[in-house]
């Protein structure tokens, strides 16, 4: 079976060198591997969350589409589309919204950061926060789950969202899968060595730091940006340390081993920063010349880009449409005309899969959660009294997706208000630990449903 890779880029800005080297170029390279199917898209519904300038959204969609194609994406091989051309995505978003725990979304970093900013400024906690921002991870879960992606290459800031997609997908499987995995549970993939290209000042290259190097602007603009790269004040002839120089990091991201070794040796031998910048410029200018030309040719013919994206949407919907139909049916949105539809069969009562055992030892009141085979899934801490232990048990059984489960090495722990209230045994392998987590979630969810 092939591996499905999926990633999207929010269409709010003009792609810079960091977006290209960190996200677009590696994704294009990955799409050439055997046994992969890639789904790459313009996250233009996500763009609406951050931006209310229609002209900017439209320009950005065009620029980002042209960048993928100029970078050599083969749209015969990969499925390349705009999110807003796939109506199955917002449909699934609603279905998932009805399954996602609000408590889970309360914990999303982007939303939490906005609330904290408001509070720090003495404003109402939700001032200026739209439902779009709050529900952003559900839309992202729909993007990922509708194509049953296995791997989702993202930046560090997006890992939590992919994990939420897993949680939501798992819950949907549990509720509506009748024992089958309707959704594949996705995994975030972080490419650390390329993902964080430094900008002019050495911090991560990002529009919000105003430290970006343009991608497909003129050679002159490229040169001027490179001249602004911050270096230390070592004079020509003085030895430079390549490893503490982000100019070298940038050079590395675009050069082969031989070029890297030569640059390293020359810096150590005292190459002037001015000359090093010239070398970086020559390298980038040469490498970007061809895609730059393709980019401008594409930008000049938006209707060709439109055709390519329309064809991509057709291809994507061939997958999404029948799958969404199956999902609708799993939730009870079925045709009345289908013969033999069993309208009377209710939801089968889930077999109890777990047991809670309360007990008391020298340190206080505790409980265990056992699986159907009687093996320990969790052991609680010692509570001062039976009531506190009872409340913790109740929390476990009702928190559902808002349950704060953490994993350190191969051990799970459950947290409530910054307090570790229960721990699993230490498992020997990651797989055993993952299986225990799935077992625990399904045990707790079915308890709550009973």
Residue among 168, 28, 7, 143 at smallest CA distance from 85: 143
Residue 143 vs 401, nearer CB to ligand TRP: 143
Could you tell me which residues come within 8 angstroms of residue 434 by beta carbon, excluding any fewer than 6 positions away? none
Separation between Cα atoms, residue 66 and residue 308, nearest integer Å: 10
Q: Which of 8, 22, 198, 291 binds ligand TRP (CB under 6 A)?
A: 8
Residue 17 vs 144, nearer CB to ligand TRP: 144
Report if residue 10 touches ligand TRP, rule: CB under 6 A. Answer: yes
Report if residue 19 touches ligand TRP, rule: CB under 6 A. Answer: no
Minimum CB–partner distance for residue 93 and ligand TRP (Å) = 11
Residue among 253, 39, 64, 43 at smallest CA distance from 152: 39
Task: Say if strands 404-408 and 376-380 run parallel, antiparallel, or are unpaired.
Answer: unpaired
Contact segment (CB under 6 A) with ligand TRP among 2-10, 172-180, 275-283, 285-293 equals 2-10
Report if residue 12 touches ligand TRP, rule: CB under 6 A. Answer: no
Q: Which of 28, 42, 43, 78 binds ligand TRP (CB under 6 A)?
A: 43
Q: Which of 16, 25, 46, 381 binds ligand TRP (CB under 6 A)?
A: 46
How far is the CA of 295 from the CAs of 63, 77, 336, in angstroms?
8, 20, 51
Report if residue 154 touches ligand TRP, rule: CB under 6 A. Answer: yes
Report if residue 93 touches ligand TRP, rule: CB under 6 A. Answer: no
Number of residues that bind ligand TRP (CB under 6 A): 12
- Dihedral (Cα; 248, 253, 254, 259), 10-degree rounding: 50
Report if residue 37 touches ligand TRP, rule: CB under 6 A. Answer: no
Asked whether the CA dihedral 393, 397, 399, 402 is positive or negative, the reply is positive
Cα angle 125, 130, 136; round to 5: 110
Minimum CB–partner distance for residue 317 and ligand TRP (Å) = 17
Report if residue 71 touches ligand TRP, rule: CB under 6 A. Answer: no
Report if residue 7 touches ligand TRP, rule: CB under 6 A. Answer: yes
Residues 127-146 that bind ligand TRP (CB under 6 A): 140, 143-144
Minimum CB–partner distance for residue 11 and ligand TRP (Å) = 9
Separation between Cα atoms, residue 246 and residue 272, nearest integer Å: 15
Separation between Cα atoms, residue 334 and residue 314, nearest integer Å: 24
Separation between Cα atoms, residue 424 and residue 378, nearest integer Å: 4
Q: Which of 31, 93, 158, 380 binds ligand TRP (CB under 6 A)?
A: 158
Report if residue 78 touches ligand TRP, rule: CB under 6 A. Answer: no
Report if residue 168 touches ligand TRP, rule: CB under 6 A. Answer: no
Catalogue the E-assigned strands of 297-410. 354-361, 364-371, 376-380, 404-408
Residue among 400, 392, 393, 378 at smallest CA distance from 444: 400
Which residues here bind ligand TRP, judged by CB under 6 A? 6-8, 10, 43, 46, 140, 143-144, 152, 154, 158
């Amino acid at each position: 079976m092939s591996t499905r890779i999926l990633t999207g880029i929010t269409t709010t800005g003009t792609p810079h060198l960091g977006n290209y080297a960190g996200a677009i170029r590696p994704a294009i390279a990955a799409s050439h591997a055997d046994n992969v199917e890639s789904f790459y898209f313009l996250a233009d519904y996500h763009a609406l969350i951050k931006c209310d300038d229609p002209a900017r959204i439209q320009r950005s969609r065009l620029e980002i589409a042209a960048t993928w194609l100029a970078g050599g994406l083969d749209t015969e091989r990969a499925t390349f589309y705009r999110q807003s051309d796939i109506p199955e995505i917002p449909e699934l978003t609603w279905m998932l919204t009805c399954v996602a725990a609000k408590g889970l979304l309360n914990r999303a970093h982007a939303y939490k950061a906005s609330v904290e900013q408001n509070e720090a400024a003495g404003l109402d906690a939700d001032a200026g926060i739209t439902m779009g921002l709050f529900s952003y991870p559900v839309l992202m879960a729909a993007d990922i789950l509708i194509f049953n992606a296995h791997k989702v290459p993202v930046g560090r800031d997006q890992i939590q969202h992919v994990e939420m997609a897993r949680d939501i997908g798992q819950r949907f499987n549990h509720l509506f899968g009748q024992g089958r995995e309707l959704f594949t549970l996705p995994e975030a993939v972080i490419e650390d060595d390329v993902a964080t290209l430094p900008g002019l000042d050495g911090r991560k290259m990002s529009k919000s730091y105003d430290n970006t190097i343009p991608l497909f602007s003129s050679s002159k603009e490229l040169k001027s940006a490179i001249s602004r790269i911050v270096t230390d004040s070592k004079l020509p002839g003085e030895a430079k340390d390549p490893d503490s120089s982000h100019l070298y990091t940038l050079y590395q991201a675009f050069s082969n081993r031989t070029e890297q070794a030569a640059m390293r040796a020359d810096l150590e031998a005292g190459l002037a920063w001015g000359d090093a910048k010239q070398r970086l410029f020559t390298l980038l200018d040469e490498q970007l010349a061809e895609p730059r030309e393709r980019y401008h040719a594409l930008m000049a013919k938006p209707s060709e880009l439109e055709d390519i994206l329309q064809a991509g949407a057709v291809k994507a919907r061939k997958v999404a449409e029948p799958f969404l139909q199956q999902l609708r049916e799993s939730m009870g949105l079925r045709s009345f005309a289908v013969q033999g539809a069993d309208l009377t069969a209710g939801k089968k009562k889930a077999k109890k899969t777990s047991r809670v055992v309360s007990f008391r030892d020298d340190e206080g009141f505790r409980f265990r959660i056992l699986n159907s085979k009687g093996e320990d899934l969790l052991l609680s801490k010692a509570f001062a009294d039976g009531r506190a232990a009872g409340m913790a048990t109740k929390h476990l059984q009702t928190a559902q997706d808002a349950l704060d489960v953490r994993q350190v090495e191969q051990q799970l722990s459950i947290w409530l208000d910054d307090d570790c209230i229960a721990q699993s045994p230490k498992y020997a392998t990651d797989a055993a630990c993952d299986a225990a987590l799935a077992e625990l979630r399904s045990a707790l969810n079915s308890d709550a449903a009973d």
